Structure 1
Amino acid sequence: MDGYASPSAAAAGVAGATRGGEAPFESEEGTGNADDTYQHEQPVYFPEELVDNWVSFSLRGLYYCYKISLGGCLNTTSPPADIILAVKCDMGPEFLRNSFTSGGVEVTIQYMRIIHLNQEQVIFARRFQSTILSLLIRNGHSEVRDAIRYFHELQVSVGVVYLLLPSVSGKIDWCSVKFATSSVYDATEKDMRHCHSCKDVDLLQTMDGPCCRCMLRNSVVYIPRDKRFYNITGFNDLNANDLLHFRDMSVVSSKRYGLCLTSESNPLLVASGLFTVQNFLHKCYEKGKELGSRNTVELRPELCRVVMAPVSTNTLCSFSFVPSIMHRIQCLLLSAKLKIQLGPRMQQFNITALKILEALTTKECQEDFSLESLETLGDSFLKYVTGQHLFSTYKYREGKLTSMRKKLVSNAALCQLACKSKLVGYINGEEFNLNKWIIPGLGYDRCGNTKCFYVPKNNMYSLRAISIKSKRIADTVEALIGAYLSTSGEQAAFHFIKSLGMDVELHIEMQEERKIITKYEEIIDVRSLETMLGYVFNDRSLLIEALTHSSSNIAGPCYERLEFLGDAVLDHILTDYFYKLHYPGCTPALLTNLRKASVNNCCYAHAAVKAGLHKHILHSSSKQMINDLENSGRSFSGPSHGWEPGIGLPEI
């Protein structure tokens, strides 16, 4: 830094120089260049808790159950039912802290209990979730039929394995799970078309044969000529013989299809379209948005093929949120895993998996949060820590120290540390794509991808790889530093930096060897300065050094080294202040602009002149320069920070 900004930063450096001690430091030649070896194609981790094969999973017997409840701004007349998530193992106490809100939708996760399921029940449950999710996501006759048939295959390969079960009054809705299956769809079991409690008079003729009213009332049907699925919610007292109602275009009639239907006295089915599966994690998701085309129509039973029965509208509604919910759960499980991977020393710090996920989520994900604000915070702290360490360890001048710090905190160096620490696979680096979400029970996504592979060197599972730039990885490292700093303080952030393998120390006291000046009163007015600053210096030679410009003919060091340290201190203090003042309402752009508007030479210079510090600077500038500065100081007005920090000041 040049000009009168430097003494301000140097003064901050004086304060910073009262902390720390010496420690070894990796030479700059040892930092390497990450871009020389970095591979942009990186595996994306998948949580081990949700990986198994269906053969071994169905034989486990005992399963850990978690209740998923939905609330918030849901624009639907049918409130979503609870869903029970059954997995192979305990997902830990951290998982219970992972309730979240996004797009106005509130998702609450609660541990229920361990339950016993036999192999047949697991098969029923797998078939249920495969069918209902295929219906909601794929919404095509051939795709749904293929999906339903796939689950019959004996799947011994490792894949995405867990159960999602409908819940009624806190218990599994086995009526829906057992009967709302492909047997109805394939019409292979005639006794599956009624519930055994209905009399023959309650049977209605469908395309595949008679079906009782109670099964039809809560069912999903398919009309081949329309190539559409409908959710049946009830009956209309009128029938096809009612001429007045028959003229209504909302009735799907026999004339429309050129069919000869025999059961003219059958009541009409009241139906609506299925719920639309959407990514409610997207930041543009509208609160209270309509969940799909829910216009009511009347259908002739004889035109319908029953796909699932019984299945309530509430269950269909809740399962339309499942892909987004499970994607977020997968990310949170990985975030909790990362906390453990960082080592036992990091476990003492109280930080939630959701906060870590924020630091792992790039802006490309288009979610409510991203790493950008935390990155800005972490960047300032990292420069402060490394700057303090370099200042204490080496006696180099400011230029050399700046060069060393630049290399130490470069994108290449941070990327290299992240790769060595196996952090890259945790990064949430792309927008959630419904087409790439694997339905548990099918084992493949809409693009046909099925592979779930194990990454031995990282001891993690992965479903796919993505291309991610080294800068984005470096940003994530800085964001993680910011996450620990904002939740658990400087010690937590420092220990995270150490856990990555960076050889730095956060010094409490710095031992600075310097020539003791005994006649300091002859050089500067120490008492006046201490009164102005509100601080009494133990080592007043530091004060003289902080006020000595390189042009001064006074023997001793100039302020450049202290400026190097003070610049990092001011940057960290101001960035931390703005983050705490405005979070969470502060956007990444606003935080960056506030930082730029306050952490710069112009603001420092105005602050120094406003306080009268410029009168004490030791320099050998021309008399004209001194007069210009004095005149500027007398006419100075306005704030010393912000977007318009007063008038410009001359440089030495």
Structure 2
Amino acid sequence: MLLRRYAYLIRKPSPFNAVFLVPQVVLQADALEMHTDLNVGKYWGDMEVDFWDDAKWKQEIDKYEVLVMTPQILLNGLRHGFFKINMIKVLIIDECHHARGKHPYASIMTEFYHRQLEAGVSDLPRIFGMTASPINTKGVNSADSYWQKIHELETIMNSKVYTCVSESVLAQFVPFSTPKFKFYQDMEIPYVLYAHLVQELNVFKVKHECSLDNLDLEASAAESTRRKISKIHSALIHCLDELGVWLALKAAEYLSCYESEFLMWGKLDVFGEKIVRSYSVDAFHAIGACIPSDPDWTIVNDVKASVDAGFLTTKVLCLIESLSEYRVLRDIRCIIFVERIITAVVLQSLFSELLPKYGNWKTKYIAGNNSGLQNQTRKKQNEIVEEFRKGMVNIIVATSILEEGLDVQACNLIIRFDPSPTVCSFIQSRGRARMQNSDYLLMVKSGDFSTHSRLKNYLTSGDVMRKESLCHASDPCSPLSNDLCDEEFYHVASTGAFMTLSSSVGLIYFYCSRLPADGYFKPTPRCIIDKQMGVCTLHLPKSSPIRTVCVKGNFKSLKQKACFEACKQLHQIGALTDNLVPDIVVEENDAEEIGKESYNDDQPIFFPPELVNQDSQESMTKYYCYLMELKQNFGYEFPVQNIILLVRSQLEMEAKSVGIELEVDRGTLTVNLKYIGLIRLTSDQVILCRRFQIALFRVLMDHKAEKLTELLSDLTSGNNSEINYLLLPSNYMGQNPVIDWLSISSILFSYEKVWKNHVNCNAGMIQTKSGLVCTCMIKNSLVSTPHNGRTYIIDGLLNNINANSLLTLSDGGVMTYKEYYEQRHGIHLCFSRVSFLAGRHIFPVQNHIQSFNLLLFILQNPVTHL
């Protein structure tokens, strides 16, 4: 109705628009298109609107009359100067009770609306906010405190609250669910079982936290891992207390399998992730040991017996019994609200086993991503809601994410498994039951008079808020307090782009996210705060034109000040455009418009200075040595050997060591890189190392002896190298890693020298095509077979097999090896009594860049690979 009233102001070609801010874009936009004849544009995060430029937004603004979007999109658009507040004639804000603190609703009003209002600008949008409860905080328990919160909302929205006299008036148009209290007796799980498991979990927690000390991680990375362990530990203890041993087992199982990203200064912290997961696995085995091992036992066999044993709690039993009371309903649609994500996850596991006996009810869960304990996408959540709407899903276990924006007319039951923390949460969750004669069950522990009283106050809060709003209906809105709109800001006059201390943090993270990255590195800023000195140093990735920014000031705002100063400097040098957008985003948009090819990972565009020849004329060359400790996480008869990396400049490593995990054919290989000291090499040693490195790479890449022979015969090989780093084999002298000079010197192999050095050796000689070789040198050597040009690694001699030994053919025939080689390959074996060599193929080198690109292509073009 409101949009119809103002439609004449926004009809195209009018330069004005109406903007509708909502949490669920598609739902509200569809309603607008159904009930108005206005052109409606829809915008949400998955459309990648963060990367749209001024020209793209101008097209949308000129095309559509009503723009439906999430509040963050409008806030970003205003901050970048893509939108102007005075181009909006009507601003509709759904769930406007969020307009407080640093929420996008509040930022839109304080940064743009109120600044213009104080400047005397009159051409501002009409504000229409909608909410079921204007109060969204805890601790409100009197009429005066209710009015204070309502007045704060009116002030920031520059609007007055309008409401009905009573709930009965609304009930004529909107169904209200019937509140019912469900009380359950609190019975703890057996103490011996509980104490045993808590002690086990505590031991595991200490064990894995102590293991961090052996990894030599940076303090911030170790602390981050400790916090994750503590979070998982807390979740498991909570499950034991509130849900029972069986659901705690399900929680440990989920957490031990959950894939997440542990980031440490832009790099994947593999060791931290493994320790966290290892804790979850240990917890899973410890809890699982307390569950009956009988394969025929299930949690649903006897629920009450499971409660007595401590596998389930009486609270969970109350929930099961409450649901069973509604099994007569043919088409139940129920939402169970819980406080924690892990509770939602494990209750779905329980109901998936239990509820089919009540009529094939299907259960799914929906939870937010803020805690980092799950990675459910918005698309997946929308799919579940749509299944719920169609009746394909009967029960959703949800956190507060579903308290707002969900409109399923068939929803007939709401259960508050955990009590609402605020009056707004109470009213919003109650409102999800849209069907006539629906119920709103409130689970309360018997004897918990405080919670019972609080929920009863929530039931009457609607009447109190209506009364207070009507009593103050004639009071004017108060001006916004100075502390809400006096935040330091940076303004670009040419575009209207606007940045505050608060918004600069998000902007600097967005800028870094657009810097060059790949599947193994994510550029992020890093902030170091010295509390004693009151100094904050912001470190930006190497690919940023500004590397560090240092500021002093109030401890509470130090990080914001550093990001604010960094953004100003980036804008001043052109790394941020006049719209305060990374210039990289602009270049990408231009490339799309002119059809430019996307970046190719295979192009060797940049070499780090640490790896490039510095053209030193010194007789002794200084190298920084880094040990690459290799640990194979799979069984194989041939062990890996550590490698030493030599570079001319010291690497900028924040931690004393850096760990990564590489995928190989048989499993994973853990690599730990750490600095071990300086070394000085003569020019001859450098050339020797280069020749070894070149020869090694040539063999691995080609597997052909001809090219290796050409390389070794070129005496200038290794004299000239633009890329001046060395990857060399390592062994140990005592406890200290050293360069394996014996292996490196093998590149100087000479038949003449070998013969002279082994004249008196008792091992005996073996004849090769190129000359005699002592058999003691055969093991771990490279041997080429001329008839096929292949190169093999030799593991030793086959003492019982020679040219006269019998070979069984595939057709069952038998002949000697000598006969076989002469008939098959035309080779005459002259030394028929000499033992054969035990050889194996050289490992094939995997090109993971190409395989990654192939996988990416298949994922992007699934139809062509069915």
Q: For this structure pair, what is the TM-score category when the shorter chain's length is used for normalisation?
A: 0.3 to 0.5
Normalising by the residue count of structure 1, what TM-score does the alignment of the two structures yield? 0.38
Normalising by the residue count of structure 2, what TM-score does the alignment of the two structures yield? 0.29
Q: Which has the higher contact order (CA 8 A, sep 6+)?
A: 1
